[in-house]
Amino acid sequence: MTHKNIHQSKIFDSLKLVELTNGRKTKLQVLNYGAAIFSLEFLRDSGEYLNVLVSPEKPEDFLSQAYKEHNQCFGASVGRYAGRISQGGFELNGEHYPLYTKNGVHLHGGELGFTYKFWEIEEVTKLPNPSVKFSYLSKDGEEGYPGNLQVLVIYTLTEEDEVLIEYTAVTDKDTVINLTNHAYFNLNGGGDIKDHLMKLNAEEVLEVSEELMPTGDLRNIRNSGMDFTSLRPIGEATLDDVYVLGDTAGRGENIFLKGSKSGISLEIESNQPAVVVFIPETLPDAWEYQTSIAKSKPSVCLESQNFPDAPHHPQFPSSVLRPGETYRNSIKWTFRK
């Protein structure tokens, strides 16, 4: 066996999958690589399971070079900063911190952000409300960011078919942070999401440049093709936009999605000021998928987070985390079927 093959074997040996099952036999599978949600399956009346997440077929697919190259972040915990940062870095306390850029954009934490790290499995609990806790230490200077950042994420599958995602982080030096989960939803368990009904408590989006970089202004979208303030089918919408959530943020009226074929609905609550709605036109064919997806519009991402590029826009909610403070992103997915 060559040195390269030995190294690859050790990497595969490090890959772990944790399965949580609640009293309703709902199953949530999570990988320690990227602290990524691998699948979420509901037991139907027919006795068969329906997976509402779109993800590569095998856990090993996440370790492939193609997975890194396509940078789709399936179900992954994205950081140190989810979304885009402009100008090749940022200023903090009068000091400039250069960041990795590709095509002039720093995206999802850099060349090898949290999506491509092995996280430590700290604790797994069983019924009722099974959970798994992961940790990751992002060292000072990793991807250009200042401060040793200690990150935790706890995934809990409740007995009511809720998925609770709790990100927390502390630092020993002033830094910036924006974490989210990048799950791809298809509540029908296959096909496309054009007939999914969606409602967003958001009348504004961030105005962006051609590179999808925020300009600093907000754009009203009422009565436009991007307006989902009333429940309606997604249809032909292709989105990669930051929706600014309204005053009901955190009270369960933020984000609603329903699969018209399965009847499964999803309601999302979070303590974050925005949700990035990403509807890819297509997904890579570099691997097989767990479900039978359509070639066009196979899924939708609903990423609860702070505004992208906040370090360059003082009018945006602050992304700065200081020693003695705790960063927190609390997300609740409530499913009904």
Q: Which residues are catalytic?
A: 182, 303
CA-nearest of 228, 239, 233 to 204 is 228
Tokens of residue 337, six digits = 């079927």
SS3 content of the chain, % helix, strand, coil (to 5): 10, 40, 50
CA-nearest of 271, 272, 276, 270 to 206 is 276
3-state secondary structure of 319: coil
Read off the DSSP letter of residue 103: T
CA distances from 87 to 101, 107, 213 (A): 9, 12, 10
- C-beta atoms surrounding 211 within 10 Å: 10
Q: To which residue do tokens 């990403």 refer?
A: 278
* CA–CA separation, 231 and 246 (whole Å): 16
* CA–CA separation, 1 and 208 (whole Å): 50
* CA–CA separation, 217 and 208 (whole Å): 8
CA-nearest of 10, 51, 8, 56 to 31 is 56
Contact indicator for 328, 271 with CB cutoff of 8 Å: yes
| Burial class of residue 98, CB neighbours in 10 A (0-12, 13-18, 19+) | exposed
301's CB contacts (< 8 A; 6+ apart) are: 182, 183, 184, 185, 276, 277, 278, 279, 280
